[in-house]
Amino acid sequence: LAKTTQPISMDSYEGQEVNITCSHNNIATNDYITWYQQFPSQGPRFIIQGYKTKVTNEVASLFIPADRKSSTLSLPRVSLSDTAVYYCLVTGSNNLFFGTGTRLTVIP
C-alpha cells in the first residue's frame, strides 16, 4: 500500500485557488489516485480520480506528473463551504485506506 504524505492543514481566503499536494513516492503501476472531501460529522465524498496527466471535473482539477510520485488537487475560487478535510488516497484495489488528510480552512 503506497504511503501518502500531505500537509496537515492549510488556510486560504475566499475566492482564491487552493492547491493541495500529496506525495506518494511508492505508487505502484496499478495504483490510481483519488481525492475525497469530508465535512465534520459527515461521510467522505468523492471529488476526483486520476491515473496520470490532468483530470478536471466540475469541482476540481487533479494534476499528476509523469513520474506519478505526487499529485496536486486544485480547487478554483474556494468559498467558505469548502472548509473540510481533503484526503489523498492511492490504491490499486477498491478498498479505501485513508490517511490523516489536509484540513483546509477558508477564511472570509
Partner 1 sequence: EPEVTQTPSHQVTQMGQEVILRCVPISNHLYFYWYRQILGQKVEFLVSFYNNEISEKSEIFDDQFSVERPDGSNFTLKIRSTKLEDSAMYFCASRGNGAGWRNEQFFGPGTRLTVL
CB nearer to partner 1: pick between 41 and 81:
41
CB nearer to partner 1: pick between 1 and 80:
1
Strands lying side by side in the sheet with 18-23: 18-23, 70-75, 61-64, 53-56
Supply the minimum distance, in Å, between the C-beta of residue 15 and partner 1.
Answer: 27
Can you give the binding site for partner 1, defined by CB under 8 A?
30, 32, 34, 38, 41-46, 49, 51, 87, 91-101
Within its chain, how far is the Cα of 50 from the centroid?
11
CB nearer to partner 1: pick between 81 and 95:
95
Supply the minimum distance, in Å, between the C-beta of residue 79 and partner 1.
Answer: 21
CB nearer to partner 1: pick between 41 and 108:
41
Supply the minimum distance, in Å, between the C-beta of residue 85 and partner 1.
Answer: 9
Given CA atoms 75, 43, 70, 95 in this order, what sign does their dihedral have?
negative
Given CA atoms 31, 28, 39, 79 in this order, what sign does their dihedral have?
negative
Supply the minimum distance, in Å, between the C-beta of residue 87 and partner 1.
Answer: 8
Q: Which amino acid is at 11?
A: D
Vertex 60 angle, CA 27 and 24, to 5°: 15
